[in-house]
């Protein structure tokens, strides 16, 4: 490859390596949602190409670059071990011997990963400004790859998958260009070393003779090679479309392989890292206790809390849900009013059995109207899970989903909780829907005496009325009396009070600071809300309704959860945001309030009562239709659905999903397959025991021994086979060569070309003709075809050359070959002219 092509290849390599480094930084930044470092890397890359590589104005000396890298390594290692001091402070700490005090002993895993990745990025920045050698190019590529490994651990977005494909494609080009450049450079070096070696050899010989004498001219030395630099190879010829197509083909093959590899890689599902994505816990708006506040402005967060889809549990088809569903999170039954004038709501105590993790979600009593709810929740420091109640277990409900009947809450069990888990997916069933609408009434069942005791305690709490709300009780009674409501009809009482709170007499607000100015201190906050300022958020409304109902002897409790969400029509699921957090009320009614249809198929002895859902908050109007989705909304929905698919089918692919998606389609059960493999006689002959599982079998001395011996044996056997095959091939008589091969061997291929040219004009050599006879016959026919006389001479010359080479053992040297090539070209031109003349004549 000539110098110009070499430089061109290096130029493309420099650009490609900058693209690789930048895309790696971009992938890392996308995981952190921080693109400052990626921007810096891009700027450094572009400027290094211009000022360092092309113009050579700025190049970091090797010593300085090494010092910088050492400092960077030192700094980021300190960060890795928990330091938050600057570099100068750290250096000062080193000299003063206080380094151990600066290091706090470690940080969380996420920060450690980020520190490693940051070190890699900054080291790459330093290397970009160094003079590029083979070593620098190699290190840049390796560090970029390691950086992408870190990015893979912290990234959960679907765009990471796309970015990874792009990164791998760029890396193919980088590695190929690097290889091309490296080979050319190494060959140049080898050539120079060979020449130097030959010259050193000659120098040594010359020292034995009198210097300056012509005798030196006769001293032999090693042959010295040199390349012809005038080779007409251009970079465009090498790096053309074929090169790109070749690499893109490899990229497609890689993509297909990686998809197959991903879905076929065995999984056990026992790792706590099953759901990837390092992340800090989110500080969510959902809480498990409520304190009515009169300070500050509540901010509606647009962070995603969860995504939920509904399907028919029996048929698996989509289940359309109308109106916004209520997803329960926490049940707050206890109300306390402290001496500082604050109202608190608390949940019932959790069951002591929760620590043993033996609590499981109950099985459904019947399959009637059973709806499957599939939830993908963003994990936080609260292990509470959301669902539409009542919930039932399905066959694919995760074993780590536990239900506490004491506090009436769903939990993620402690063994599943991990700081590395960012999202969690679970499925449950519910029978709360009737024709797509969530029923307002649900049965309360008690399965055994334990349930009965628990509910009795809860019921007692729900019936308790705080002492400080006498005026509220009086007001409620008067209101019902004024409205002529039969207090013996609890449903009517509930609706009346609900509508009262939803009326314009009350004002919904998120600006709780307004309350502070109007509040009467020394008074119960809820009573103050109802009888005085009548301004508050959903917690105030729900609190008011609960206490008002209790004052009338109707047990009630507050429910905290999420209401509504945005329907993603592309994926047919609801995206619930933190701003959808809501508080509502559930009133407990006696079983005689249940309609017969509701209890069909249910054991009447287990029915304890009815929960009636009430939502006194006036902002949400069930009869309002959701606004129409614009085009941008639909595009956002599509991307969101893509993310959901990525989460479900890639990030959280578990063994069960793998079995359904891959192995069952192939008609193969990996468990059975593994069992059948494990029972093979060969394995017992090899003394390998898989009965205890594949992990225990692998960690055994027999397996390790065969792991070492096996490849050696295979290598020996294949080597023997190959040698015997080669020996057999060598002893076999050589295959008969074709005529063209014979001519090529004799270096008379040019005459074959002559014959082909003449055959194109209908002059074909017969098998029985010698070459001389053939040429003579052509020369007889030439005048009839009005072919130029020069063709005659050319044919004679070529014929003579053929005989000389073929039979005269006088091979053509380079000059003769060139002449022959020219003659053949001239013959081709002459025949072409003759051919066109003939065509012209025919047409004329």
Partner 1 sequence: MLARRRVSVTPEGWYFLFVVVFIICAAVMREVNVLVILAGMLLGPWLLHWRLAGASLRQLRVERRLPQLTTAGQSVPVQITVYNQRRRRGSWCITVEDRICPVGQPSRQQQPIQMLIPYVAAGSSASSHYHWMIDQRGEYELSQIQLQTRFPFGLLQSRLGFSQPQKLLVGPQVGELTSAWDRLLESDRTGEHHARPLAGRTDGDYYAIRPWRTGDSRRWIHWRSTARLGKPVVKQFERQEQRQLFLLLDLADDADPAGSNQLSVELAASLAMTVVHTACRQPGGQLLLTIAGQQVHNWSTAPSRMLMEEVASLLATIQPGAGISQPGWQQQLAGLRADVLPVVISTRSQHAAGELPLGVAGSWIDCSHPDAWHYLRLAPHRLDPAAGEKLPV
Chosen residue from 196, 283, 507, 796 binding partner 1 by CB under 8 A: 196
Left, alpha or beta for 296 (phi > 0: left; psi -120 to 50: alpha)? left
- Which x/- pattern over 545-574 shows residues binding partner 1 (rule: CB under 8 A)? ------------------------------
| Interface region with partner 1, contact rule CB under 8 A, candidates 36-44, 232-240, 529-537, 619-627 | 232-240
- CB nearer to partner 1: give 314 or 649: 649
Question: Among residues 256 and 626, whose Cβ is nearest to partner 1?
Answer: 256
* Binding-residue pattern over the window 237 to 256 for partner 1, x denoting contact by CB under 8 A: xx---xx--xx--x--xxx-
Q: How far is the CB of 641 from partner 1 (least distance, A)?
A: 19
Query: Exposed, middle or buried: residue 311 (CB in 10 Å: 0-12, 13-18, 19+)?
Result: middle
Binding flag, residue 205, partner 1 (CB under 8 A)? no
**Residue 469 in contact with residue 546, Cβ under 8 Å?**
no
Looking from the CA of 733 toward its CB, the CA atoms found within 13 Å total 2
d(CA 262, CA 265): 6
Q: Restricting to residues 129-188, which ones interact with partner 1 according to CB under 8 A?
A: 142, 145, 148-149, 152-153, 155, 160-161, 164-165, 168, 172, 175-176, 178-180, 182-184, 187
Rounded least distance, CB 763 to partner 1, Å: 26
Which of 723, 441, 464 has its CA nearest to residue 589?
Answer: 441
Instruction: State the DSSP code for 592.
Output: G
If one asks whether residue 662 binds partner 1 (CB under 8 A), the answer comes out as no
Span 4-43, contacts to partner 1 by CB under 8 A: 5
To partner 1, the closest distance from the beta carbon of 176 in angstroms equals 4
Nearer Cβ to partner 1 (243/400): 243
Is the Cβ of residue 145 or residue 531 nearer to partner 1 in the bound state? 145
Residue 214 interacts with partner 1 (CB under 8 A): yes or no: yes
Asked if 575 interacts with partner 1 (CB under 8 A), we say no
Query: Which listed residue (46, 85, 91, 191) binds partner 1 by CB under 8 A?
Result: 191
Query: Which residue from 136, 115, 118 is spatially nearest to 59, judged by alpha carbons?
Result: 136
Helices 3-32 and 109-128: crossing angle, nearest 10°?
A: 160
What contacts 823, CB < 8 A, 6 or more positions away? 794, 797, 798
Does 811 bind partner 1 (CB under 8 A)? Our answer is yes
**For residues 217 and 628, which CB has a smaller minimum distance to partner 1 in the complex?**
217
Q: With residue 568 as reference, give the H or E element that holds it.
A: strand 566-568
- Nearer to partner 1 by Cβ, of 268 and 516: the residue is 268
Q: Which of 817, 819, 822, 836 binds partner 1 (CB under 8 A)?
A: 817
Minimum gap (Å) between residue 473 Cβ and partner 1: 58
Shorter beta-carbon distance to partner 1: residue 258 or 342: 258
* Binder of partner 1 out of 56, 211, 316, 762 (CB under 8 A): 211
Say whether residue 676 binds partner 1 (CB under 8 A): no
Reading the block at residue 351, the tokens are 């069951």
Closest CB to partner 1 among 400 and 620? 400
User: Which of 589, 567, 591, 571 minimizes the C-alpha distance to 580?
Assistant: 567
Q: How far apart are CA 805 and CA 800, in angstroms?
A: 9
- Which segment (220-228, 317-325, 606-614, 628-636) binds partner 1 by CB under 8 A? 220-228
Count the neighbouring beta carbons within 10 Å of the beta carbon of residue 813: 8
CB of 24 to partner 1, least distance (A): 12
Asked if residue 217 binds partner 1 (CB under 8 A), the reply is yes
Number of residues counted as binding partner 1 (CB under 8 A): 89
Tell the burial category of 249 from Cβ atoms under 10 Å away from its Cβ (0-12, 13-18, 19+). exposed
Site for partner 1 in 472-531 (CB under 8 A): none
104: which 2 tokens? 């706090």
Residues 602-661 that bind partner 1 (CB under 8 A): 650-653
Nearest-10 crossing angle of helices 3-32, 158-206: 150
Q: Where are the alpha helices (DSSP H) in 663-700?
A: 664-666, 670-678, 681-685, 694-698
Phi first, then psi: give them for residue 589, nearest 5 degrees.
-120, 155
Taking the complex as a whole, how short is the minimal distance between the CB of residue 827 and partner 1, in angstroms? 21
Report the C-alpha gap between 522 and 530 in whole angstroms.
15
Contact mark string toward partner 1, 689..728, x via CB under 8 A: -------------------------------------x--
Residues 262-291 that bind partner 1 (CB under 8 A): 262, 265-269, 271, 273-274, 276
- Of positions 203, 569, 769, 819, contacts partner 1 by CB under 8 A: 203
Torsion angle in degrees (nearest 10) through CA of 336, 337, 340, 342: 80
Closest distance of CB 728 from partner 1, Å:
14
Q: Does 663 bind partner 1 (CB under 8 A)?
A: no
The single residue among 192, 323, 360, 687 that binds partner 1, judged by CB under 8 A, is 192
In terms of CB distance, is 108 or 463 closer to partner 1?
108
The two tokens of residue 569 are 């029509």
CA dihedral 121, 122, 123, 126 (to 10 degrees): 120
Q: Is 733 in the site for partner 1 (CB under 8 A)?
A: no
Residue 125, number of CB atoms within 10 A of its CB: 21
**For the chain, how far is it from start to end, CA to CA, in angstroms?**
51
Is 261 a binding residue for partner 1 by CB under 8 A? The answer is yes
Contact call for residues 546 and 558 (beta carbons, < 8 A): yes
Determine the angle formed by the axes of helices 62-80 and 109-128, rounding to 10 degrees: 170
């Amino acid at each position: 490859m000539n110098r110009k092509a070499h430089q061109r290849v290096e130029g493309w390599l420099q650009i490609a390596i900058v693209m690789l480094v930048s895309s790696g930084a971009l992938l890392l930044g996308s995981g952190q949602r921080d693109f400052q470092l990626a921007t810096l890397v891009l700027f450094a890359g572009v400027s290094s190409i211009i000022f360092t590589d092309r113009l050579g104005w700025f190049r970091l000396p090797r010593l300085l670059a090494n010092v910088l890298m050492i400092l960077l390594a030192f700094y980021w290692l300190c960060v890795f071990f928990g330091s938050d001091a600057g570099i100068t402070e750290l250096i000062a700490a080193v000299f003063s011997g206080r380094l151990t005090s600066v290091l706090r002993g470690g940080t969380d895993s996420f920060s450690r990963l980020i520190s490693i990745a940051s070190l890699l990025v900054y080291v790459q920045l330093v290397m970009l400004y160094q003079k590029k050698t083979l070593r620098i190019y190699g290190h840049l590529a390796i560090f970029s790859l390691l950086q992408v490994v870190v990015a893979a651990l912290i990234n959960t977005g679907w765009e990471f998958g796309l970015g990874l494909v792009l990164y791998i494609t760029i890396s193919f080009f980088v590695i190929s260009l690097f290889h091309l450049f490296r080979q050319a450079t190494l060959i140049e070096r080898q050539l120079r070393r060979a020449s130097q070696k030959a010259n050193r050899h000659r120098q040594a010989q010359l020292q034995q003779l009198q210097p300056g004498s012509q005798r030196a001219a006769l001293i032999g030395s090693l042959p010295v090679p040199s390349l012809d630099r005038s080779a007409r190879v251009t970079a465009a010829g090498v790096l053309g479309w074929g090169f790109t197509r070749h690499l893109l083909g490899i990229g497609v093959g890689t993509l297909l392989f990686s998809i197959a590899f991903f879905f076929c890689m065995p999984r056990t599902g026992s790792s706590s890292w099953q759901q990837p994505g390092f992340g800090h816990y989110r500080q969510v708006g959902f809480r498990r206790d409520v304190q009515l506040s009169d300070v500050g402005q509540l901010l509606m967060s647009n962070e995603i809390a969860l995504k939920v889809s509904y399907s028919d549990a029996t048929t698996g088809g989509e289940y359309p849900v109308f109106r916004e569903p209520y997803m329960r999170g926490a049940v707050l039954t206890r109300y306390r009013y402290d001496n500082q004038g604050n109202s608190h709501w608390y949940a019932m105590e959790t069951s002591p059995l929760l620590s043993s993790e033996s609590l499981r979600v109950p099985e459904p009593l019947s399959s009637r109207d059973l709806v499957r709810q599939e939830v993908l929740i963003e994990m936080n420091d609260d292990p509470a899970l959301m669902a539409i109640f009542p919930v039932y277990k399905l066959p694919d409900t995760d074993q780590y989903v536990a239900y506490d009947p004491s506090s009436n809450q769903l939990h993620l069990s402690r063994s599943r909780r991990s700081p590395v888990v960012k999202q969690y997916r679970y499925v449950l069933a519910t029978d709360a829907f009737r024709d797509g609408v969530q029923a307002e009434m649900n049965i309360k069942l008690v399965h055994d005496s334990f349930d009965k005791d628990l509910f009795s305690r809860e019921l007692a709490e729900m019936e308790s009325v705080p002492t400080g709300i006498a005026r509220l009780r009086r007001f409620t009674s008067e209101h019902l009396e004024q409205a002529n409501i039969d207090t013996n009809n609890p449903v009517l009482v509930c609706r009346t009070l609900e509508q009262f709170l939803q009326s314009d007499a009350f004002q919904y607000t998120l600006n709780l600071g307004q309350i502070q100015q109007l509040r009467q201190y020394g008074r119960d906050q809820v009573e103050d809300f109802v009888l005085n300022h009548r301004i508050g958020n959903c917690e105030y409304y729900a609190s008011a309704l609960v206490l008002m109902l209790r004052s009338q002897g109707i047990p009630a409790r507050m429910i905290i959860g999420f209401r509504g969400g945005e329907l993603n029509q592309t994926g047919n699921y609801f995206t619930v945001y933190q701003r959808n957090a809501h508080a509502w009320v559930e009133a407990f009614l006696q079983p005689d309030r249940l309609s017969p249809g509701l209890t069909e198929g249910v054991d009447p002895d287990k029915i304890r009562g009815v929960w009636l859902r009430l939502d006194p908050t006036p902002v949400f109007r069930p009869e309002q239709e959701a606004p129409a989705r614009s085009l941008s909304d639909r595009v956002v929905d599509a991307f969101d659905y893509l993310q959901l698919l990525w989460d479900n089918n890639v990030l959280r692919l578990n063994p069960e999903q793998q079995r359904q998606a891959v192995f069952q389609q192939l008609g193969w059960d990996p468990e059975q397959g593994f069992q059948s493999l494990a029972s093979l006689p060969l394995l017992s002959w090899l003394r390998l025991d898989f009965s205890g599982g594949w992990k225990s079998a692998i960690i055994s001395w027999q397996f390790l021994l065969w792991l070492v011996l096996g490849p050696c044996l295979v290598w020996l056997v294949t080597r023997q086979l190959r040698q015997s095959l080669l020996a057999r091939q060598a002893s076999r008589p050589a295959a008969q060569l074709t005529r063209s091969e014979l001519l090529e061997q004799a270096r008379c291929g040019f005459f074959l070309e002559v014959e082909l040219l003449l055959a194109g004009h209908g002059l074909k050599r017969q098998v029985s003709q010698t070459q001389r006879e053939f040429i003579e016959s052509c020369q007889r026919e030439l005048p009839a075809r009005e072919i130029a006389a020069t063709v005659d001479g050319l044919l004679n010359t070529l014929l003579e050359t053929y005989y000389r080479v073929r039979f005269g053992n006088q091979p053509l040297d380079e000059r003769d070959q060139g002449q022959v090539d020219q003659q053949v070209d001239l013959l081709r031109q002459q025949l072409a002219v003759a051919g066109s003349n003939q065509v012209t004549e025919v047409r004329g």
